[in-house]
Amino acid sequence: MRKSWLSLPFVFILCLSLNLPAAYAAETLPEPFFKYLSSKYLGNPGVILINGASNEVVYQDGASKPRKPASVLKIISTSAIALTLDTATVFKTAIYKTEKKGVFVIWGENDPWITSNAKYRDANKRAYMPALIKAAFASDKSLKKINLIYKGVNNSDILYAKRALKRKSSVAYKPISKNVEVESLITEKIAEVSSPPLHKMIRFALLYSDNVLSQRLAMLATGKNGYPLTRTGLNKMANDKISELGVDTTGMVLMDGSGLSGQNRVSAVTVSQLLLKVKSEPRLKVIYDSLPVSGESGTLIGRYHSTAPQAVGLVRAKTGSIRNTVSLAGFATSGDKEYVFVVLADGVGRTRRLQDAARSAIDRMLGTITKPAVSGLTLPVPENNPFTTNP
């Protein structure tokens, strides 16, 4: 049954008298806010709205229940890596000769950015793994077959590099054992590629919701913090890193770093507390700066123009969408203040039409509370050239 918000004080007092986990509003919000929030397309979402200046919860409903976050989870995985490494960190991958003719070593620093996909290389100026292997053949024109041993690179990049080169019979691949020192094997460096700084990778992952990159960043954080490179290790790492900030991670379960798994769980309360830390913790400033801006950049570039044009440029948030789930979490400018908000709608319909309707309801809801910033409050600034990813 559709909620009615015509008499908020009555509803709130009634819920208190029944000792129920009530929807809570600490200040008067416009009636259309509740109209859009109660849309049938949202299916009783977990919602929380916080005054970013005072940390006061302005409104919440179902916010403590762990839900499927979809790609809103990327706020957690990118925060974990930002808390782990300096965001100026650059990752290098090189290929070396050995004392044995035809045997080469690829040695990397677990670069999340490198690819063996020519499409991604060309579109985003990514370092290209097959280029290193080609350099090995170029170093000795007499070679018809080579053996590659590798460490510090993703197995899938090696596999796809092999396919990209179409040299299945002339290149043999083998990982280097953990107890073998790479320095003892290598002689001359032939070629090297580098990633952009970590902060640009974080920006790309959040701005364009890159699933592969987000997963790799999460696993990089897992390994760097000494956890096993497994789902269990990832989940333990994320819970530990986020809870170290003082964030309540009750019920948080991460099965991946991208948000694609339907088994991921996190509450709106947890996400909202992390977003508050994003504004106060210097190491997490990169997260705030990297979020898409309503109607102007990233995965929000096509939204708000028709649903809530008054909110264009005033919402900075991470989008999310998987089967039966639509989510949005971030910041909304409202005159002299900035709200932190989280909407996790994990009971929406499966079709594109129903999910679009849910997104529209969220955007219209936020449009009822956004206002241009007053003097002294910094507005979100869209990126002039979001495709520039070189260092």
Asked whether 297 and 330 are in contact (CB, 8 A), the reply is no
CATH number for the domain harbouring residue 53? 3.40.710.10
User: How large a percentage of the chain has pLDDT more than 70?
Assistant: 88
Residue 144 lies in a domain: yes
pLDDT digits (tens, 9 = 90+) for 26-72: 668 999 999 999 999 999 999 999 999 999 999 999 999 999 999 99
CB atoms within 10 A of CB 146: 19
Q: Report residue 165's pLDDT band, with 50, 70 and 90 as the boundaries.
A: confident
Residue 239 has pLDDT above 80, yes or no: yes
pLDDT of 26 reads 60
Stated pTM of the model: 0.88
Average pLDDT over residues 82-93: 98
Q: Among residues 129, 162, 195, which one ends one of the domains?
A: 195
Same domain assignment for residues 81 and 99:
no
Residue 50 lies in a domain: yes
pLDDT of 255 reads 99
Same domain assignment for residues 49 and 102:
no
Same domain assignment for residues 229 and 354:
yes
Same domain assignment for residues 122 and 79:
no
* Structural domain count, the chain: 2
pLDDT of 159 reads 86
Residue 385 lies in a domain: no
Q: Report residue 375's pLDDT band, with 50, 70 and 90 as the boundaries.
A: low
Q: Report residue 285's pLDDT band, with 50, 70 and 90 as the boundaries.
A: very high
pLDDT digits (tens, 9 = 90+) for 321-347: 999 999 999 999 999 999 999 999 999
Residue 306 lies in a domain: yes
Structural domain of 190: 92-195
pLDDT of 3 reads 41
Same domain assignment for residues 147 and 237:
no
Residue 383 lies in a domain: no
Average pLDDT over residues 287-299: 99
Same domain assignment for residues 16 and 46:
yes
Average pLDDT over residues 261-286: 98
How confident is the prediction for the chain on average, in pLDDT? 90
